[in-house]
């Protein structure tokens, strides 16, 4: 036991002291918020800086009132042909022709441009006309704006889960899917990256021949388990650092761009009682969806989700790490490992695709449930379901099977490993692996 | 007491038998040569002693005790295929390997310092193994083998990869360890090493032990009652002596190889020779280890 501990320590230190670990641990959580931040920043900047496009217009209807929110309008009094010539000579964006039209059937409004206008520009113009026509119609029909406003009702369906004990908890399907997807992808990445590292490490030990010295001091099983557990602890550490860094950074970035956590927003509301307050309130109302989401994010059962994630992270990692270890022990180079990687990759790919094809679409379908119970697919599949709430018996069954699966793969892997690490230069195929598996000590 | 006793040890794989009923006695405080051609089963036996693999039958006794996990701590093993962690620094590496052998951290540290000083490589502590030359890495590996002061040291081809200077250094260390009371098992093909260093030998061929004993006993067993004589003037022999070869050296000197057909004492041959020629030198032709090895291994093949 003492010796396994030594190997765990050694393995842990080897990985953690590497530059690549430091870089991956610090950089990865920086990348995502940085990308989001950069995109938001660019968008905000371009909104602020962009020059308004100039549009010439010829108004034959006599009703068009330029709305300068998005465009700068330049009136041209004269015929359309003259206007076209004038526009051709200019560098401006477009020429808008507004003929006489009927309110009920507006037709013939045309935008001439030199380059293809963006969808956004066209719909922007359309919106200007639509609202102006609407106003004119209301005047014509004697409808007061107030009456119209009072007709407008805002309905949003809130989804509420009834738990077994009769308590209600609000749920946000989008958010839960997001959690499921993020958890599933994270799990997939972790298993692959760390599994590959286990394999790599074992191939290195084998090719550098150090393994014979080591197994003259410890049992092969101890060496294998020490390496697997050591790497698991590295993975946990990395995951923990990521979580801390990411949540800090995400809140930081969101805060910087004015998407504040709810408490701060409420406080700002209180402080502002000047004439701007009204406008501020309206803005807050517009933001209320964001506020609601953030509230829901804060109110998610994070403890539960995280502890389930950690369990499946460890279980999923262990069930596959043992297999990766067996492959590493059997071959002399990573290239040779390819042929044995295939059967390991299949269940991972199935669960990854299942996550998107079935689980995120319908987390309670039969196939989703089975994917989340079968040990080889459950680590990724369960992540997709966990946010939505999983019946206790399914969770328990899945966990028990996962532990059982881990014991089984480790037993199988250890039998191959103990023989494989001492065999270099052997041409290995599945038959040879089976022979090693059957071979007695 | 014997440092190691193997009793009827066998190891079988699906397609072949690696060891077949091998029994050995390795006396304490000796250097024991474990000889045999490639694939004879030496490495299998060594791996069984190191508990890397299990035997199918038989018993191994270490200083009279049945082989058990704690014996790992009194055995030092230098495998034929050397290997260290390439990315690990020399100091960390030795510390790790020593701790795996059961040494405490501080103990290991103190001993590593002594050894590095002894080999005059103190400044290697922070060097990564991948930056060392092959010979340098071998030194580190040798230190790792003996660091935990094992009572039984198993060296598989210990001199491969060493230049003559370092080979000499290692030889001295091995003799020193023997003086300190260690028992050393040598597995090697190099017969000159066996000739120089080993007290006892055993020869394994085709999974079976075919020879065992002290070097002197073995040579006694394989001597052919042949003598090499240098003499002035030629002669011929008959009767119970057979003149195998007579060739001129220089002037009227000759060298003759004579075999005694009946077992007689060398003095009788000398008496005979004095009457025939002027004897300048007389020496019994003792077979070298190399000759014994080759004759036995080849003979084994011829039998089938």
Cα Rg, chain A, nearest whole Å: 32
Q: Is A153 left (phi over 0), alpha (psi -120 to 50) or beta?
A: beta
User: Testing the interface with B: which of A213, A329, A435 to mutate, by most B Cβ within 10 A?
Assistant: A213
Length of chain B counted residue by residue: 304
Residue B113: half-sphere exposure toward Cβ, Cα within 13 Å: 5
Residue B302 pLDDT:
41
Counting one residue from chain A and one from chain B, the pairs whose CB atoms sit within 8 A come to 62
Mean pLDDT of chain B: 87
Q: Please name the helix (run of DSSP H) or strand (run of DSSP E) that holds residue B284, with its range, or none.
A: strand B278-284
Residue of B nearest to A6 (CA): B100
pLDDT digits (tens, 9 = 90+) for A325-341: 999 999 988 888 888 88
Nearest CA in chain A to B83: A210
Q: What is the structure's pLDDT at A34?
A: 75
For residue B14, give the nearest of A209, A435, A441 by CB distance: A435
**Interface test mutation site (partner A, options B53, B75, B148, max chain A beta carbons within 10 A):** B53
Tokens of A427: 């041409």
Smallest Cβ–Cβ distance between A208 and the set B75, B85, B101 belongs to B85
pLDDT at B216: 86
A441 contacts B83? CB cut-off 8 A: no
Strand A53-59: give its sheet, edge to edge.
A71-75, A53-59, A94-98, A110-113
Asked if the model's pLDDT at residue A156 lies above 70, the reply is no
Q: What is the pLDDT of residue A1?
A: 59
Could you read off the pLDDT of B18-45 as tens digits, one per residue? Answer: 899 999 999 999 999 999 888 888 889 9
By C-alpha distance, which of B2, B50, B66, B61 is closest to B29?
B2
Of A78, A35, A40, A32, whose CA–CA distance to A59 is shortest? A78
User: Domain boundaries in chain A?
Assistant: 51-148, 172-292+299-438
- The three-state secondary structure class of B239 is coil
- CA A230 remoteness from chain centre: 28
Q: Cα-flanking dihedrals φ and ψ of residue A56, to 5°?
A: -80, 145
d(CA A76, CA A110): 15
pLDDT at residue number B153: 94
Q: Average of pLDDT values for B136-164?
A: 89
Looking at residue B72, what DSSP letter applies? G
Whether the Cβ atoms of residue B226 and residue B257 lie closer than 8 Å to each other: yes
Chain A CB contacts of B155 under 8 Å are none
Question: Of the candidates B244, B240, B239, which has an alpha carbon nearest to the alpha carbon of residue B227?
Answer: B244
Q: Which of A211, A217, A220 sits opposite B101 (nearest CB)?
A: A217
Distance from C-alpha of B27 to C-alpha of B1, rounded to nearest angstrom: 6
Chain-chain contact of A212 with B99 (C-beta, under 8 angstroms): no
* pLDDT number for residue A48: 66
pLDDT digits (tens, 9 = 90+) for B249-292: 888 888 988 888 777 788 888 888 888 888 889 988 888 888 88
What confidence score (pLDDT) does residue A282 get? Answer: 47
- Determine the pLDDT at residue A242: 84
Residue with tokens 């009072």: A150
In this predicted structure, what is the pLDDT of residue A171?
Answer: 58
Q: What angle do CA A144, A149, A154 make, to 5 degrees?
A: 165
Give whichever of A14-23, A96-105, B35-44, B139-148 has the largest mean pLDDT. Answer: B139-148
pLDDT over 90 at B61, yes or no: yes
Token digits of residue B130: 């991948």
pLDDT digits (tens, 9 = 90+) for A52-105: 778 888 888 877 877 777 788 888 888 888 888 888 888 888 888 888 888 788
Give yes or no for residue A265 having a pLDDT over 80.
no
Cβ atoms A368, A394 nearer than 8 A:
no
Q: What is the pLDDT of residue B177?
A: 92
Does A29 score more than 90 pLDDT? no
CA atoms of B207 and B190, how far apart (whole Å)? 20
Please determine, looking at this structure, whether the domain spanning A51-148 carries the CATH number 3.40.190.10.
yes
Sign of CA dihedral A283, A286, A292, A297: negative
Tell me how far apart the alpha carbons of residues A74 and A199 are, in angstroms, rounded to a whole number: 70
Cα–Cα dist A372/A367, whole Å: 8
> At residue A268, does pLDDT exceed 90?
no
- Test B87 with A14 for CB contact under 8 angstroms: yes
Residue that wins the pLDDT comparison between B227 and A300: B227
Distance from CA of A187 to the nearest CA of B (A): 29
pLDDT band (50, 70, 90) for residue B304: very low
Check: CB of residue A391 under 8 Å from CB of residue A384.
Answer: no
Q: What is the pLDDT of residue B96?
A: 93
Among candidates A3, A208, A215 on the partner chain, residue whose Cβ is nearest the Cβ of B86: A208
Least confident interval from A41-50, B124-133, B183-192: A41-50
CA distance B286 to B199: 16
Question: Which single residue is written with the structure tokens 């328990």?
Answer: A396
Which chain B residue's Cα is nearest to A441? B54
φ, ψ for residue A393, nearest 5 deg? -65, -35
pLDDT(A365) > 70: yes
| pLDDT at residue B303 is higher than 50 | no
Best mutation target, A212, A332, A418, A421, to test chain B (most B CBs within 10 A): A212
Residue, of B143 and A303, whose pLDDT is higher: B143
Q: Contact A422/A205 with Cβ under 8 angstroms?
A: no
Chain A residues with beta carbon closer than 8 angstroms to that of B53:
422, 441
Pair of tokens at residue A248: 């800090």
| pLDDT tens readout for residues A370-389 | 888 999 999 988 888 887 88
Closest chain B residue to A5 measured between Cα atoms? B100
Per the CB < 8 A criterion, the answer to whether B99 and B147 are in contact is: no
| pLDDT > 90 in chain B, percent | 32
Per-residue pLDDT at B285: 85
B98, B143 Cβ separation under 8 angstroms: no
Beta bridge partners of residue A72, listed in sequence order: A54
B2-220 CATH choice from 3.40.50.300, 3.20.20.70, 3.10.450.50, 2.30.42.10: 3.40.50.300
Q: Which residue, chain included where needed, has tokens 């501020």?
A: A280
Minimum-distance CB partner of A208 among B14, B84, B99: B84
For A268, other C-beta atoms within 10 Å of its C-beta total 12
CA atoms within 13 A on the CB side of A64: 25
**Numbered residues of chain B with Cβ closer than 8 Å to any chain A Cβ:** 13-14, 47, 50-54, 56, 72, 75, 77, 79, 81-88, 96-97, 99-101, 141, 144
Residues 6+ apart with CB under 8 A from A65: A132
A256/A344 Cα distance (integer angstroms): 44
| Mean pLDDT, chain A, whole residue set | 81
The structure's pTM equals 0.73
Long-range contacts of the stretch A355-359 (C-beta < 8 A, 24+): A355/A180, A355/A181, A355/A184, A355/A185, A355/A380, A355/A381, A355/A383, A355/A384, A356/A181, A359/A180, A359/A184, A359/A384, A359/A385
- Let me know: does A238 contact A25? Beta carbons within 8 Å: yes
Label residue A180 by pLDDT band (50, 70, 90).
Answer: confident
- Given a contact cutoff of 8 angstroms between Cβ atoms, the answer to whether B137 and B78 are in contact is no
Angle (CA) A368 A373 A375, round 5°: 125
- In B, which residues are within 8 Å of A3 by CB distance? 100
Of A7, A216, A220, the CB nearest to B50: A216
The band of B159, judged by pLDDT with boundaries at 50, 70 and 90, is confident
Nearest of A421, A418, A415 to residue A434 by alpha carbon: A415
Whether A403 shows a pLDDT value over 90: the answer reads yes
Which chain B residue's Cα is nearest to A201? B85
**Quick one: closest CA in A to B78, which residue?**
A213
């Amino acid at each position: 036991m003492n010796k396994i501990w030594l190997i765990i320590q050694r393995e842990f230190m080897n990985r953690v002291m590497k530059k690549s670990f430091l870089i991956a641990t610090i950089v990865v959580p920086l990348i995502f918020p940085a990308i989001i931040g950069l995109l938001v920043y660019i968008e905000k900047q371009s909104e602020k800086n962009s020059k308004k496009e100039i549009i010439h217009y010829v108004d034959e209807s006599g009703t068009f009132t330029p709305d300068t929110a998005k465009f700068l309008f330049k009136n041209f009094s004269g015929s359309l042909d003259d206007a076209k010539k004038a526009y051709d000579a200019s560098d401006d964006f477009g020429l808008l022709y507004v003929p006489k039209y009927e309110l009920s059937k507006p037709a013939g409004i045309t935008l001439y441009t030199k380059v293809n206008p963006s969808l956004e520009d066209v719909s922007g113009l359309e919106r200007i006309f639509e609202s102006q026509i609407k106003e004119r119609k209301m005047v014509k029909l004697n409808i007061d704006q107030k009456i119209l406003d009072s007709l407008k009702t805002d309905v949003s369906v809130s989804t509420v889960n009834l738990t077994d004990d009769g308590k209600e908890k609000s749920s946000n399907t989008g958010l839960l899917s997001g959690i499921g997807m993020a958890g599933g992808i994270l799990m997939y990445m972790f298993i692959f990256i760390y599994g590959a590292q286990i394999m790599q490490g074992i191939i290195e030990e084998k090719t550098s021949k150090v393994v014979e010295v080591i197994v003259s001091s410890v049992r092969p099983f101890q060496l294998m388990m020490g390496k697997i557990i050591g790497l698991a602890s590295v993975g946990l550490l990395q995951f923990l650092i990521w979580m801390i860094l990411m949540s800090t950074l995400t809140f930081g970035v969101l805060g910087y761009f004015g998407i504040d956590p709810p408490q701060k927003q409420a406080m700002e509301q209180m402080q502002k009682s000047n004439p701007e307050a009204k406008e501020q309130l309206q803005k807050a109302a517009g933001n209320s969806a964001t506020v609601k989401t953030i509230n829901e994010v804060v109110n998610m059962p994070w403890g539960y989700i995280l502890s389930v994630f950690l369990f499946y992270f460890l279980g999923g990692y262990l069930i596959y790490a043992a297999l990766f270890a067996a492959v590493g022990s059997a071959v002399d180079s990573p290239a040779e490992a390819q042929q044995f990687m295939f059967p390991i990759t299949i269940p991972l790919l199935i669960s990854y695709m299942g996550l998107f094809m079935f689980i995120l679409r319908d987390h309670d379908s039969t196939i989703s449930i089975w994917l989340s119970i079968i040990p080889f697919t459950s680590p990724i599949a369960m992540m997709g379901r966990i946010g939505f709430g999983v019946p206790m018996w399914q969770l328990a069954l899945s966990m028990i099977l996962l532990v059982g699966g881990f014991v089984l793969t480790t037993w199988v892997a250890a039998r191959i490993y103990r023989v494989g690490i001492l065999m270099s230069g052997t041409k290995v195929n599945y038959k040879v692996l089976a022979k090693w598996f059957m071979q007695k000590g | 007491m014997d440092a190691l006793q193997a009793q009827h040890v066998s190891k079988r794989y699906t397609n072949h038998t690696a060891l077949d009923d091998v029994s050995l006695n390795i006396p304490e405080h000796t250097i024991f040569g474990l000889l045999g051609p490639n694939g004879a089963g030496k490495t299998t036996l060594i791996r069984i002693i190191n508990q890397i693999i299990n035997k199918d039958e038989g018993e191994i006794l270490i200083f009279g005790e049945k082989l058990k996990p704690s014996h790992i701590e009194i055995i030092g093993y230098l495998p034929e295929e050397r290997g260290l962690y390439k990315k690990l620094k020399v100091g960390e590496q030795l510390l790790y390997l020593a701790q795996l052998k059961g040494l405490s951290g501080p103990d290991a540290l103190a001993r590593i310092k002594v050894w590095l000083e002894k080999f005059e490589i103190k400044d290697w502590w922070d060097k990564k193994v991948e930056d060392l030359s092959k010979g340098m890495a071998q030194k580190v590996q040798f230190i790792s083998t003996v660091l935990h002061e094992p009572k039984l040291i198993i060296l598989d081809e210990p001199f491969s990869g060493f230049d003559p200077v370092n080979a000499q250094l290692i030889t001295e260390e091995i003799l020193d360890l023997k003086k300190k009371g260690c028992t050393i098992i040598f597995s090697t093909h190099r017969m000159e090493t066996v000739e120089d260093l080993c007290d006892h030998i055993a020869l394994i061929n085709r999974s079976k032990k075919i020879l065992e004993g002290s070097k002197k006993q073995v040579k006694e067993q394989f001597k052919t009652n042949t003598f090499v004589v240098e003499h002035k003037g030629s002669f011929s022999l008959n009767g119970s002596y057979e003149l195998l070869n007579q060739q001129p050296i220089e002037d009227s000197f000759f060298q003759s190889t004579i075999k005694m057909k009946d077992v007689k004492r060398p003095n009788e041959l000398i008496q005979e020779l004095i009457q025939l020629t002027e004897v300048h030198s007389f020496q019994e032709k003792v077979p070298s280890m190399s000759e014994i090895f080759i004759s036995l291994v080849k003979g084994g093949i011829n039998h089938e």
